[in-house]
Structure 1
Amino acid sequence: MKDTTTIVHPDRRGRAERTPFGYLTAEHPTLDRVQNMISAVSAVIAGVSIVAMVLITLADVVARSLFESPLGWSVSFIEMYLLTAAAFFGIVTAYRSGAHIAVVSLFNRTPPRGQKLLMIFAYLVVLVGLCALGWAGLMATVFAVEISEGPVPGSSELPIPGWLMWSIVPVSTGLGVILVVIDLARELFSPWDRTATDYDPGDFGAEEDGRVVLGAESGAGR
């Protein structure tokens, strides 16, 4: 029987459960739960933002069409807050759950030690990118606080301080940094003859002699 909720390492070493927000392994369950919790919180924030965008847009259409009184704040609120939250917190969940796009043609043709180095390099690139975004967002947040950035008094915009929008970036990227640092630490402090955080989607046949046999249609994960 196929187990579509299970993933394995490419060399058939060990098993792990794929959860809605990440992975759960027997090697490091505590760290997995921490990462999955961060991913779940980010998913909730992104999901609520998307639902809110739909509801506000619908309300604006109804108010405009039936009452000829559109919501003057809807467009800017969606663009500045909801879209930003959905995008940046969604990135965190996408990273942890493996929902991003990965091209593994070169990776799969590389020896195990080379794969290990590629994984470490990839984590470092992601880490640098997140830190740069987070720092820029933090500086923008501080600047918005210093100048008391906000909507012009008397305008149709909601009276929300500008720093709240900018703070979405450092908060979300900070959560992403935690996820990447944990994955990077796993690779650095695990045996160097194989990767520790690379998983394949589960498509299993049967268990022979206590060993999981990988199905023929198994694809590549992260």
Structure 2
Amino acid sequence: MAAPGNDQVPLNLPSALLAKVETALVFLSTLAMAAIMCIVMADVVLRYVFDAPLVWSFDLIGLYLVGAVFFFALSDTMQQHGHIALDVFVPLIPFRLRHAAQSLGFAASTLFLAAITWLEIWEAEGAFMADDRIAGVVPFQTWVAHAVLAIGMGALVLRCAYRSIFHAISAVSGRPNVELPPPPITSSTKSEHAE
């Protein structure tokens, strides 16, 4: 998830529609994080105060909730330019060449992530059909974990495909048609170097 105040405004309808999906997924990611905190807190209180721990908490958190927190936030983080990017030399590359290279990079990412998404859909379907469950106190179904990963990665595939297409359009047109990262902050402030 992006830092406050770093909200990226969609430039066109495809990005705006995808941003709505990403916002919904980030909301679910937030709910999953809140659920983790509540379950852990309840488990600690029940374990150390009443000597009655929640025997299912570790399985629920590890199988479902952690995946939802991580994978549901991936695409929005990309939209907000929150992923690590080595962009020191990017401003030095000519505009059209930069967008053409980014289009190719996002196209390769789209194909790779689409393969992962397809494999997870296949795994989710297989686990659902076989009624696959974990060997725990509560036999949680495993297909849900695969589906969570597939949904999160599917949104990321769409964001990468969008970036690939619109970077290509930018390379051809000579003007930006895709959201660009904010410029780096290069000036230092007095508070950074105060002694």
TM-score by length of 2: 0.82
1:92 maps to what in 2? 75
1:63 maps to what in 2? 46
Write the distance in 2 (CA, Å) between the matches of 1:202 and 1:39. Answer: 23
Q: Which residue identity lines up with residue 184 of structure 1 in the other structure?
A: S
**CA-CA distance at 1:216 after TM superposition:** 7.1
**CA-CA distance at 1:148 after TM superposition:** 1.1
Structure 1: which 5+ runs fail to align? Answer: 6-17, 204-214, 218-222
The size of the alignment, in residue pairs, is: 183
Write the distance in 2 (CA, Å) between the matches of 1:120 and 1:44. Answer: 29
Tell me: CA distance 1:73–1:171, structure 2 relative to 1, closer, same or farther (3 Å): same
1:121 maps to what in 2? 104
SS in 1 for 2:180: coil
- Contact 1:144/1:163 (CA < 8 Å) preserved in 2? yes
TM-score by length of 1: 0.73
Two-structure CA RMSD over aligned residues (Å): 2.4
- Contact 2:103/2:164 (CA < 8 Å) preserved in 1? yes
Query: Which region of structure 1 is more displaced relative to structure 2, 168-177 or 73-82?
Result: 168-177
SS in 1 for 2:9: strand
Tell me: CA distance 1:202–1:106, structure 2 relative to 1, closer, same or farther (3 Å): closer
- Contact 1:133/1:169 (CA < 8 Å) preserved in 2? no
Write the distance in 2 (CA, Å) between the matches of 1:191 and 1:156. Answer: 56
Larger proportion of helix: 2
2:137 corresponds to which of 134, 156, 163: 156
Larger proportion of strand: 1
Q: Which residue identity lines up with residue 95 of structure 2 in the other structure?
A: P
Tell me: CA distance 1:190–1:201, structure 2 relative to 1, closer, same or farther (3 Å): closer
Write the distance in 1 (CA, Å) between the matches of 2:163 and 2:97. Answer: 17
- Contact 2:163/2:178 (CA < 8 Å) preserved in 1? yes
Write the distance in 1 (CA, Å) between the matches of 2:186 and 2:78. Answer: 26
**CA-CA distance at 1:77 after TM superposition:** 0.8
Report whether the alignment pairs 1:72 with 2:31: no
1:197 maps to what in 2? 178
- Contact 2:46/2:53 (CA < 8 Å) preserved in 1? yes
- Contact 1:107/1:118 (CA < 8 Å) preserved in 2? no
2:192 maps to what in 1? none
Write the distance in 2 (CA, Å) between the matches of 1:142 and 1:56. Answer: 29
Identity rate of aligned residues, in percent?
19
